[in-house]
A and B are shown apart, each in its own frame.
Chain A
Amino acid sequence: MKKKLLSLFFVMTMIISLLAGCGDKNKETEDLGGDNVDVENGVEDVDDEGEDNTGSEIEEQTNADGEGKVLNIWCWNTEFQSRVKDFYPGYVHDDASGTGKIGDITVNWIITPNEGNAYQNALDAALLEQANATDDDKIDLFLIEADYALKYTASDYTMDVKDLGLTDADMAQQYQYTKDIVTADGKIKGSTWQATPGLFAYRRSIAKEVLGTDDPNVVQEKLADWDKFNAVAADMKAAGYTMLSGYDDSYRTFSNNVSGPWVQDGKVVVDDNLMAWVDQTKMFTDAGYNNKTSLWAPEWSADQGPEGKTFGFFYSTWGINFTLLDNSLADADGPKEPGNGIFGDWAVCYGPEPYYWGGTWLCAATGTDNPSAVKDIMLKLTCDKEIMKNITEVTQDYTNNMEAMNELANSDFQSAFLGGQNHIALFAEAAPKIDMSNISSYDQGCNEEFQGAFKDYFDGNASKEDALNNFYTNIVIKYPELTTE
């Protein structure tokens, strides 16, 4: 009987492992028995590799034609994908499978949405497994945002771009701040194709009706500081419009002008300027100067469309061409030209305070088996003047090349979407003013939770103190290592 029991047990385990085989890639079952790497060891493994990964080894890999055939790119939306699709020479996208080809290399897009730290959690899990992953499953290139860039650039999971073969000369025309933000221990750990100064985008027709003019210079005069901004908000209300749409709209103009980072010595610090945002937004809400929507909500998007009754939105470079433009159309599939919705009814000005919003950096993952493909993507899309100028001309995105941008700023470049305005000139003016000295690796979580917690205050469901306490409670759930007031 014992024998039979035993054999049954074996049959069971066999069935289970067989199932394991078809449920997932075989490598995982192989791993099952073998190395039982716990998380800490995983980190150390990567450490070692990071130190070994000096130029010589990579050259060896490239020279020996040891490059992998699969390039895995991790990101959180399709913005970068469309840049590669449209501007990287030789990239062919296969709509059916959602993958692409560069020569004989297959490009996989692993897209995880950002919200609730989902992207970072998925990325972290994959990076911790990077040392054990097969070449075809290794992350090669991943994207990071300013809000949490430090977390990755300070780690050994990102490669020094110079080890990839990018030189100072290649990056000479990039805005200095875009390099500073990803520099750790003197090494530049990433590269970006965009600079992201923020502006205030407003509806020309509403400006004409209420302010008597849609000239960006005059409108800027009327919005030059917060007192003036609030006065215009009152005029808008009187005319039946709202100044802003949502609670979070002006958040970045305040959060970028704080006196210190979110986290100082392991403690969460709420800056006075953030409370100024709270007070202003509460005032706007109670006075009816906004439409009580939330960032990215359908109602918020609708306010940017033909039916919208909102004067303007704080948007940075990518937001204007990536989000605002799409939202302004009446027919999403129709031509992007005046006549479709409120295309052409927008204009931009600086607004009351300089700020930036977002920004996406490309990082090479330590252990990548496609270093030269990664290097070439960085080189072409973030350092090549002609390609970057072309990106701006076609998409109106603001690219990270001073020479190209200044050329466009001084040219007769016009944006049809913005009613013929040369918005590049405004961006070129604002970009050098960007100051990212107060960022921390916790910014995404802090910003998200802070905005979320105070929504209750704006809605009248919580007092200011309660909202602040909720923020403290939630931030510690997300980051157990932090302390609060």
Chain B
Amino acid sequence: MSKKKSSCVRYTKWGYIFLIPFFLVYTIFSLIPLISTIYNSFFENYMSGLNQIGPTFVGFDNYIKLFKEANILKYTWNTIIIWLLGFIPQIVVSLTLAAWFVDLRLKLKAKGFFKTVIYMPGLIMAAAFSMLFFSIFSDAGPVNDILMDLNIIDQPFRFLANVGGTRGLIALMNFLMWFGNTTIILMAGILGIDTSLFEAAEVDGARAFQIFRFITIPQLKPILVYVLITSLIGGLQMFDVPQILTNGRGLPNNTSMTLIMYLNKHLFSKNYGLGGALSVMLFTLTLALSLLVYRIFVKKEN
């Protein structure tokens, strides 16, 4: 080991050189923007029509404003509830499918085909997917047509004029876009579990569900936590789907207005102060969640 090290010394500088592009670009396009975002969050700075207001230093006013005037808690709640509506079915379905796919006794055919199909929505442009759902779930759209033809309803169901309808559609899209991905990750996780554990359980006469409950789930715990946190981080970024579905309005009654949609409004009207404060809060939140993911990796390595 020490011998190798010494022979490496003259090459070490290349290690640094190869890191330059990454860190140069990271500094310019991520670190400087981050600092500038934090800096801006302490100023009043926006455009009033064609006139610039500020920048004036206002301390923590923007943060206080977010909580006092801006319903930030409501937008956070919206984001979390819509995420949960998609995530709970996602994890249940994915776990079930993953267990079925690796179950040797079940011997499902056409596994590859099913995997291909369920992963596909994940690659679709969220903007297009959302526009598609907007079109087919509109008051006079195909879904209402079909439901009325089947005599399930006699009046169009106005999905987007209904809190549950709108949130449900967003959650459904999130579910469709992510459950294939999660299934594959969980499958890989299950395949990574020591097979002797399963064999021992079968010798003991455990049933399929018992094996799933008492071996698969506990062994999968780190991966489940990983899926949970990455999904939560993804959920906090929720934007494209509700933005296009509700045309940026978060209708009805602001119940589908997510945090990033709210941020986008400030970016659009160039309100750097409030937008900055909101960004800093989101940054802190996601960084904390990222550190949790990091700890999972570190634990795994050890």
Chain B residue nearest to A459 (CB atoms) is B161
User: Is A216 in contact with chain B by the CB < 8 A criterion?
Assistant: no
Tell me how far the C-beta of A228 lies from the nearest C-beta in chain B, rounded to whole angstroms: 30
Q: Which of A8, A473, A476, A477 has the most chain B CB atoms inside 10 A of its CB?
A: A477
Say yes or no: is B195 at the interface (Cβ < 8 Å to chain A).
no
Interface-forming stretch among A114-122, A134-142, A385-393, A422-430? A114-122
In contact, A8 and B140 (Cβ under 8 angstroms): no
Distance, CA A254 to CA B69, complexed state (A): 30
Also in contact, A157 and B50, with CB within 8 A (given A121-B268, A477-B269, A480-B271)? yes
Q: Are A441 and B49 in contact (CB under 8 A)?
A: yes
Determine whether the beta carbon of B46 is less than 8 Å from that of A455. no
Interface-located stretch among A232-240, A292-300, A327-335: A292-300
Number of interface residues of B (CB under 8 A): 39
Contacts of B51 in A (CB 8 A): 43
Contact A298:B140 (CB < 8 A) given known A452-B251, A477-B266: yes
Q: State whether B70 touches A466 (Cβ < 8 A).
A: no
Contact A298 B49 (CB under 8 A): no
CA distance A152 to B51 in the complex (A): 11
Chain B 145-168, CB-CB to A under 8 Å as 1, else 0, gives 000000000000010011100000
Interface membership of chain A positions 106-132, coded 1 if the CB is closer than 8 angstroms to chain B and 0 otherwise: 000000000111000100100110000
Contact assessment for B52 and A40 in the assembled complex, using a CB-CB cutoff below 8 Å: yes
Known contacts A124-B47, A462-B252; is A299 also within 8 Å of B163 by CB? no
B251 touches A455 (CB 8 A): yes
Chain A residues contacting B265 (CB-CB under 8 Å) are 477-478
Are B139 and A455 closer than 8 Å at their CB atoms? no
CA distance in complex: A466, B262 (Å): 18
Q: Is A226 an interface residue (CB 8 A)?
A: no
Contacts of A293 in B (CB 8 A): 139
The smallest beta-carbon distance between B245 and chain A, in angstroms, is 14
Interface string of B50-92 (1 = CB under 8 A from A): 1111000000000000000111000000000000000000000
- Flag A287-312 by CB within 8 Å of B: 1 or 0 each: 00000110001110010000000000
Could you tell me the distance in whole angstroms from the C-beta of A384 to the nearest C-beta in chain B? 32
Measured in the bound complex, the distance between the Cα atoms of B21 and A477 in whole Å is 39
Tell yes or no: B17 within 8 A of A by CB. Answer: yes
Task: Chain A residues near B217: list those with CB within 8 A.
Answer: none
What separation, in Å, do the CA atoms of A424 and B273 have in the docked complex?
51
B269 touches A124 (CB 8 A): no
Point out the residues of chain A lying under 8 angstroms from B249, CB to CB: 452
Judge whether B253 and A466 touch: CB under 8 Å.
yes
In the complex, are the beta carbons of B140 and A302 less than 8 A apart? Answer: yes
How far apart sit A470 and B48, CA to CA, in the bound complex (Å)? Answer: 21
Using an 8 Å CB-CB cutoff, how does the interface string of A442-485 with B read, 1 for contact, 0 for none? 00000000001001100101100011001001101111110000
Query: Smallest CB–CB gap between A142 and chain B, Å?
Result: 13
B78 CB to nearest chain A CB (Å): 13
A residues less than 8 Å from B262 (CB atoms): 477
Q: How far is the CB of B112 from chain A (nearest CB, A)?
A: 40
Closest to A151 in B: B49
Given A4-B17, A480-B269, A455 and B247 touching (CB < 8 A)? no
Let me know if B124 is at the binding interface, CB within 8 A.
Answer: no
Instruction: Give Cα A476–Cα B162 distance, bound, in whole angstroms.
Output: 25
Whole-angstrom CA separation of A474 from B254 in the bound complex: 10
Q: Which residue in chain B gives the minimum CB-CB distance to A46? A: B50
Complex Cα distance, B244 from A391, in Å, reads: 38
| Distance in angstroms between the alpha carbons of A307 and B163 in the assembled complex | 29
Q: Which residues, 180 to 215 on A, are CB-close (under 8 Å) to B?
A: none
The reply to whether A480 and B50 form a contact with Cβ atoms under 8 Å apart is no
State whether the Cβ of A322 lies closer than 8 Å to any Cβ in chain B: no
With A461-B252, A476-B69 already in contact, the answer to whether A124 and B50 are too (CB < 8 A) is yes
- Residue-wise, chain B 226-254 has the 8 Å CB interface mask toward A (1 for contact) of 00000000000000000000011101111
Q: Which residue of A is nearest B49, CB measured?
A: A151
**Highest count of chain A CB atoms <10 Å: which of B46, B253, B274:** B253
The answer to whether B140 touches A480 (Cβ under 8 A) is no
B20 at the interface (CB under 8 A from A): yes
Cα A481 to Cα B51 with chains together (Å): 11
Contacts of A470 in B (CB 8 A): 253-254
Question: Which residues of the other chain, A, contact B163 by a CB distance below 8 angstroms?
Answer: 461
Minimum distance in angstroms from A159 CB to a CB of chain B:
15
Residues of A with C-beta under 8 A to B69: 473, 476
Give the distance in Å from the alpha carbon of A474 to the alpha carbon of B71 in the complex. 11
Are B50's CB and A151's CB within 8 A? yes
Cβ-defined partner of B161 (8 Å) among A128, A292, A466, A467: A292
| Alpha-carbon gap, A68 to B218, bound state (A) | 73
Complex contacts, A39 vs chain B, CB 8 Å:
47, 52
Distance in angstroms from A244 CB to nearest chain B CB is 16
A164, B102: Cα distance in complex, Å = 78
Q: Does A169 contact B (CB under 8 A)?
A: no
Which chain A residue shows the least CB distance to B269?
A478
Binary contact readout A133-166 vs B (1 if CB under 8 angstroms, 0 otherwise): 0000000000000000001100101000000000
Q: Does B13 contact A (CB under 8 A)?
A: yes
Q: Is the CB of A127 within 8 A of B252?
A: no
A12 within 8 A of partner (CB): yes
Q: Does A1 contact B (CB under 8 A)?
A: yes
Could you list 11 A-B pairs, sorted by A, with CB under 8 Å?
A: A8-B20, A116-B248, A124-B50, A127-B50, A151-B50, A297-B138, A456-B251, A459-B252, A462-B253, A478-B265, A480-B274
Given A117-B268, A479-B48, 18 more pairs with CB closer than 8 A? A8-B17, A9-B20, A39-B47, A116-B248, A117-B269, A124-B47, A124-B50, A292-B139, A292-B161, A441-B49, A459-B161, A470-B254, A474-B254, A476-B69, A480-B46, A480-B48, A480-B269, A481-B48
The 4 closest A-B pairs by CB, nearest first: A461-B252, A456-B253, A459-B161, A462-B253
